[in-house]
Every structure is written in structure tokens, then in C-alpha cells.
Structure 1
């Protein structure tokens, strides 16, 4: 369970970086050269999703919970936005959902 959760967090970081870099280019006037690491990051994201042993729909559903938590952590660390109690509570609920789904892998 820990290995799966950590893999999901790395996967979420790859996806967020792959979406953040073009945002920098389009919204903040950063170099279009950022599109190269964008493509690499998104390719890494897709590859990481294939490393899970469950059916793709279950992987995507469970991944969503970790993505919510990771996106909020990104918001706090990178964007410097203070998270509310509701942010933390929602992220906790999403993460619990992921844990429930992953616990059921192999039992379905």
C-alpha cells in the first residue's frame, strides 16, 4: 500500500509539472523551450500509471485521490497559498477513498 501511494504521488507530480510548465509559458511569458520538459513530464506521467497491477479504471479512480492531495500541497508550497481546514479535510477524504480502492485490488 505504501509503495502504491508513493508511486501515485510521483505520478501526480509528473502530471502537475507537465501542466504547470505550459501555464508558465502561456500566462507568465516564460520560454517556449519549457514545452520540451512538459512533453517529457507528461510522458513520464503516462508511463507511471502503467506500473500499477490493477485495471486502468481502478488505477485512475485511486490516483484521483492522491492527485487532489498533491495538487493542494503544490498550491501551498509552489503558489504559497495558505490551505483552509476545508482543503485539508477534502484532501483527507480523497486520500481515504484512494486507500479503500487500493485495499480492494485483488479482491474484486
Structure 2
């Protein structure tokens, strides 16, 4: 598997887990101690994005957005038990296509 794909998948998992820790504390009444692994997870998320070999951070973040959306749909299904409907899947496919255009689109030499 390519490093950039592993970095994006790692970023998605750690961002969703970190954000869920805050959700659990604020919305599900879990202990404030949930924030400790949540903040560590969010720091790992930021680190993962630095592993993507792009010339500009903005392109890395934009591409990651598509990966994140797909990961969030998987979270919806696997962690929350809500099966994605066709609109979730169509939207995720559009986002992945857009991420591919951003990441792999031909660029003029600077």
C-alpha cells in the first residue's frame, strides 16, 4: 500500500476517534478523561497529514477531505450501526473522485 494512502487512512481513523472522544464526553455523558486519548488521537491526526508527500499543505488537506468523508461513512456503519444509504454512497464516491483529481491531476512545472 502506498505511504500517502496509509497516511490518509491513519489520519481519518485518528481524527474520527479523537472527535468521537469529545462527542462521548459532551453528548454521551462519558468521563472527562475521554479527552486525554482524544487529544492524543487528534495530535496523531495532524502528524499523519505531514507524511503525505505534496508540495503544498492545502492540496494534502483537500485530498484528505475526500478520504475523511468515506471514513466517516464507514464509522456511521461500523461504529454507530447505521447502514449507509445510496445517497451516502453516491456522495462518498463523488468526494473520492474529487480527491483523486486534486491529488493526481497534472500540474505545470513551477
**Fold conserved between structures, TM > 0.5:** yes
Consecutive unaligned residues in structure 2, runs of 5 or more: none
Tell whether the 8 Å contact from 1:15 to 1:41 is kept in structure 2 after alignment.
yes
Tell whether the 8 Å contact from 1:5 to 1:66 is kept in structure 2 after alignment.
no
Mapped partners of 1:6, 1:69: distance in 2: 14
- Tell me the number of residue pairs that the alignment of Structure 1 and Structure 2 aligns: 107
Mapped partners of 2:101, 2:6: distance in 1: 16
Aligned to 2:63: 62
5 Å matches for 1:70-85? Answer: 70-85=71-86
Please, what TM-score do these two structures have when normalized by structure 2?
0.89
Please, what TM-score do these two structures have when normalized by structure 1?
0.91
Consecutive unaligned residues in structure 1, runs of 5 or more: none
SS of the residue corresponding to residue 79 of structure 1 reads: coil
Mapped partners of 1:64, 1:76: distance in 2: 19
CA offsets per residue over residues 23-60 of structure 1, 9 Å max, x none?
10111111111111011001000111111121111001
Mapped partners of 1:2, 1:84: distance in 2: 29
Mapped partners of 1:90, 1:2: distance in 2: 24
SS of the residue corresponding to residue 52 of structure 1 reads: coil
Question: Deviating runs (4+, > 3 A) in structure 1?
Answer: none
